[in-house]
Amino acid sequence: MKIIDHCLEAAHFIPSPNVDERQSPDDLSLIVIHCISLPPGQFGTEGVTQLFTNTLDPAEHPYYESIAHLKVSAHLLIRRTGELLQYVPFNQRAWHAGTSCYGDRTVCNDFSIGIELEGTDDSAYADIQYTQLNAVINALLATYPTLSRQHITGHEHIAPGRKTDPGEFFEWSRLEGVETA
């Protein structure tokens, strides 16, 4: 897997308007794992792409009424089939972490890459998702020397009490060379 011009060659690129420039472009030091499904618990829909591109129709599902106004994005989505969708180039800031803290640093969007897994935090992830996630992480580490396996974490760890993903069913041991979340 290769990264060319800050995008995964293997991913389908769908640009999100919810992006801006990083304050320090060379300050890329964290990978954050998330999960999402829209509507909640349903897989293979266009809801995530619609949310990340501000085209979610609040009339399509009752849950959408409460989130259609949000301006959020992630760098990448790994569907349960292994399909890769990229919404934000890695050198730009995606709006995935919200109020967050990692170590002594706040505003994790400034220095992180956000990877969404299609899923829920209370169900197992597909084997192909772990395969793809490992390939993506390897490509990121090969391209961006400021990233490391020691600084990969979950949304639940940078926003405790506010977020619970990727959840207890995410198997951290399946990430190559990552010992703790």
- Looking at the structure of the chain, the number of domains it has is 1
Active-site residue identified among 60, 116, 118, 171: 116
| Mean pLDDT, range 100-114, rounded to an integer | 97
The reported pLDDT for the residue numbered 179 is 56
Please answer whether residues 37 and 46 qualify as being in contact, where contact means their C-beta atoms are separated by less than 8 angstroms: no
pLDDT in tens, 8-41: 999 999 999 999 999 888 899 999 999 999 999 9
Please answer whether residues 114 and 18 qualify as being in contact, where contact means their C-beta atoms are separated by less than 8 angstroms: no
Question: What tokens were used for 108?
Answer: 């994790």
Is there a domain that residue 23 lies in? yes
Confidence of residue 177 (pLDDT cuts 50, 70, 90): confident
E-assigned strand segments in 6-139: 7-8, 12-13, 19-21, 30-36, 76-78, 84-86, 92-94, 101-102, 105-106, 112-118
Active site residue 116: yes
CATH number at residue 139: 3.40.80.10
Is there a domain that residue 133 lies in? yes
Is there a domain that residue 66 lies in? yes
Confidence (pTM): 0.96
